[in-house]
């Protein structure tokens, strides 16, 4: 062990302690922590979105939605209680509008709604809003299912939505069904 040499040590970074924060800085941090971020207010992500072709139908069904209910939605047999038209909206405007529309529908006990987004034909980036709708709607807990509309309601340029029942409607149904017994 006579020819063993110690390893050369690298210089270490001196860690310094954080300076004491003033009361105003602490208040500012607490206020920032309690403010809702844009992401929390509108959870629809604007990240990478798979583009959909203008002639592709949109379809989505959560687990637990009965096949007959989904078929009736797909065939346009439910009455449309609310409509949203996204023509001439930018992606960001459409994102906000969709989130507000879904919230309003849930508050008003709307079960079936229609979003008109257009097919996006003849554009340099075709079917952008249609692709966004296809990406955003499954992210929303309130949306049970959606499908491209029938020709009389806008065809592939519109989408039927089936929304979750509000807690109040659930209670009403429960009371009605309990009286029958």
pLDDT, residue 2, reads: 79
Between 27 and 50, the more confident residue is 50
| pTM as predicted | 0.71
Task: Give me the residue label for tokens 């139908």.
Answer: 57
User: CB-based contacts of 27: which residues, under 8 Å, 6+ apart?
Assistant: none
pLDDT tens sequence across 55-87: 999 999 999 999 999 999 999 999 999 999 999
| Alpha-carbon dihedral sign for residues 138, 82, 150, 121 | negative
pLDDT, residue 121, reads: 80
pLDDT, average across residues 29-54: 63
**83 token code pair:** 């409509």
pLDDT tens sequence across 136-177: 999 999 999 999 999 999 999 999 999 998 888 888 888 888
Distance CA 166, CA 179 (A): 20
Task: Give me the residue label for tokens 């849930």.
Answer: 106
Distance of CA 158 to the CA centre of its chain: 17
Domains, the chain, with CATH or none: 52-171 (3.30.1370.110)
């Amino acid at each position: 062990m006579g020819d063993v040499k110690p390893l050369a040590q690298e210089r270490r970074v001196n860690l310094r302690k954080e300076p004491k924060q003033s009361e105003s800085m602490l208040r500012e941090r607490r206020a920032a922590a309690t403010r809702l971020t844009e992401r929390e207010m509108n959870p629809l992500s604007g990240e990478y979105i798979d583009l959909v072709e203008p002639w592709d139908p949109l379809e989505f069904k959560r687990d637990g939605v009965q096949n007959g209910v989904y078929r009736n939605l797909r065939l346009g047999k439910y009455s449309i209680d609310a409509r949203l038209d996204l023509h001439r909206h930018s992606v960001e405007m459409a994102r906000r509008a969709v989130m507000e529309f879904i919230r309003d529908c849930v508050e008003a006990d709307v079960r079936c709604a229609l979003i008109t987004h257009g097919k996006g034909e003849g554009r340099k980036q075709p079917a952008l809003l249609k692709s966004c709708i296809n990406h955003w709607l499954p992210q929303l807990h309130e949306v049970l299912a959606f499908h491209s509309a029938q020709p009389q309601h806008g065809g592939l340029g519109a989408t039927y939505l089936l929304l979750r029942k509000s807690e109040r409607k659930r209670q009403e149904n429960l009371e009605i069904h309990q009286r029958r017994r």
